[in-house]
Amino acid sequence: MLLAVTLLPSLGPLSGTRATASSQRRTVVSQAPSEESAPSVTEAPAPMLTGNAPAGSTNEALAMGQLSAPAAPQPSGSVQAARFGKVKALQPRLRLRDVATDAVAERVRRIDGVMFATAIEVGRVPVKGQEVTVAAVDPRRFRRVTPQLTADEVGVWQRIVEGDAAFTHDTGTRLRAELGATVKAGAEGAALRVGAYASNGVPPVADLVVNRETAQELRLRGRRHVLVALSDDADAAAVASQIETALGVSAGVLDQPETQRAFLVGEDARDEFEPYTYVDMGDGMIQIDADWVERNIVSRDVPILTGAVTCHRLMVGQLAGALGDIEEAGLADLIDTSDYGGCWVPRHIDFNPARPLSMHSWGLAVDLNVSTNGLGQTPTMDARIVEIFDRWGFAWGGRWSRPDGMHFELGALLESPQG
């Protein structure tokens, strides 16, 4: 199994181990996992993130996991479409705790060095029987202090305006809250619609975000804070002191996201696959350096699948070769084009920030026939499909001790199929 390693910058030069290669393989990047090691490396998408992009989501948003469901049926004219222009997202540097939020935020915006400030309320409510943190926000303002990809995904914000909740990826996966579904939430079991999956901050401000009206329906009783973004040249500690003096409130300086580095271990793999740097978003997603993405992630039409797939440039040719052979063998109807689970999604395994990085974060894995080949289920993938992917250098997750029958990941770089 290919090993994806993450280094903090302070850990020094990269190092790794080598694997034995077949003479027919140009570069080994993966090996079939043993029965003992499989559970630690299994890959699986969250059920609600599979298939084609929902209405309102862009292709980029689908790849990055910032997804919004179609609007819920509403009485005509009850919720107007909001207008969301382009914004530059800002990383909060200060947090003011336990304050009368809106009035304080307005005063904070007038202080030298402050670029933006917005008020939120954070508390705990039960969702599907489990306690989670909920943030009540003004969507139009809070949007400015979320990651840029979230800020740009208008569907996320429209759903929040309409009264839906935007779940973080790890929370939604843990609760099995499917995109577009309605769940019970709050002490009185109010109906809450899962309107979006989106990263809401680095680190996340809460497990899910709602507008203030929805928070009232959930009987949210939380702590009120103000998030403050500063100009690039501002000294965070100095501005915090100025705010405390002028407003008489406590202003804490927030830790800034730390850049980490990931690389692949395997025979010559580090020569073939450029390492990337990234910021961990704290909800199972990561944000990879944009220059690396531009150099290594490509979108291309391939046989059978509908529309372009977005994968690593060194894998997409082999994927196209495998799918082309499947088509030539008359087996194309065994792959459900509406049940494609994606290739490049920069995330941790299972959207769990405590687990290693997924091979999907490199664009080196693809999920097919997702709904009938779930993680831990007996695979239904046709053996002839598996055999063709084997010949094209892919490892199949259906052989793992915890089967992942949808999952094929690159096992070797090949000039042509084996056998």
DSSP structure string for 322-348: HHHHHHHTT-GGGS-GGG--BS---BB
Going residue by residue through the chain (419 aa), what tens digit of pLDDT does each one get?
A: 444 554 433 222 222 222 223 334 455 554 333 222 333 334 444 433 333 333 333 444 444 567 778 888 765 456 666 788 899 999 999 999 988 778 899 999 999 999 999 999 999 999 999 999 999 999 999 999 999 989 999 999 999 999 999 999 999 999 999 999 999 999 899 999 999 999 999 999 999 999 999 999 999 999 999 999 999 999 999 999 999 999 999 999 999 999 999 999 876 787 899 999 999 999 999 999 999 999 999 999 999 999 899 999 999 999 999 999 999 999 999 999 999 989 999 999 988 999 999 999 999 999 999 999 988 999 999 999 999 999 999 999 999 999 999 999 999 999 888 87
Strand partners, 52: none
Q: With residue 243 as reference, give the H or E element that holds it.
A: helix 236-247
Residue type, 357: L
- The structure tokens listed for 399 are 């052989």
* pLDDT tens per residue across span 100-135: 778 899 999 999 999 999 999 999 999 999 999 999
Mean of pLDDT over the chain: 84
- Contact yes or no for 347/356 (Cβ under 8 A): no
- The structure tokens listed for 112 are 């030298």
By CB atoms closer than 10 A (0-12, 13-18, 19+), residue 291 is: exposed
Which pairing describes strands 27-28 and 412-413: parallel, antiparallel, or unpaired? antiparallel
* pLDDT tens per residue across span 326-374: 999 999 999 999 999 899 999 999 889 999 999 999 999 999 999 999 8
Query: What whole-number distance in Å separates Cα of residue 31 and Cα of residue 378?
Result: 21
**Omega before residue 203 within 30° of 0, cis:** yes
Rg, Å, the chain Cα set: 23
> Could you tell me which of 285, 375, 270 has the C-alpha nearest to residue 45?
375
Query: What whole-number distance in Å separates Cα of residue 172 and Cα of residue 179?
Result: 9
Query: What whole-number distance in Å separates Cα of residue 118 and Cα of residue 102?
Result: 8
Query: What whole-number distance in Å separates Cα of residue 305 and Cα of residue 96?
Result: 49
Query: What whole-number distance in Å separates Cα of residue 152 and Cα of residue 88?
Result: 9
Domain residue ranges of the chain, discontinuous segments joined by +: 3-59+259-413, 92-253
The tally of CA atoms less than 13 A away on the side-chain side of residue 329 is 18
Distances in whole angstroms, Cα of residue 395 to Cα of each of 33, 43, 349, 364, 388: 9, 12, 16, 11, 11
pLDDT of 267 reads 67
Query: What whole-number distance in Å separates Cα of residue 56 and Cα of residue 61?
Result: 10
* pLDDT tens per residue across span 65-92: 677 788 887 654 566 667 888 999 999 9
Strand partners, 208: 134, 167
Query: What whole-number distance in Å separates Cα of residue 249 and Cα of residue 243?
Result: 7
Residue type, 267: E
Listed in order, strand segments (DSSP E) in 198-236 are: 208-211, 223-230
Query: What whole-number distance in Å separates Cα of residue 327 and Cα of residue 344?
Result: 23
- Contact yes or no for 186/368 (Cβ under 8 A): no
What's the gap between Cα 215 and its chain centre? 25
Helix (H, G, I), strand (E, B) or coil at 227: strand
Strand partners, 196: 68, 166
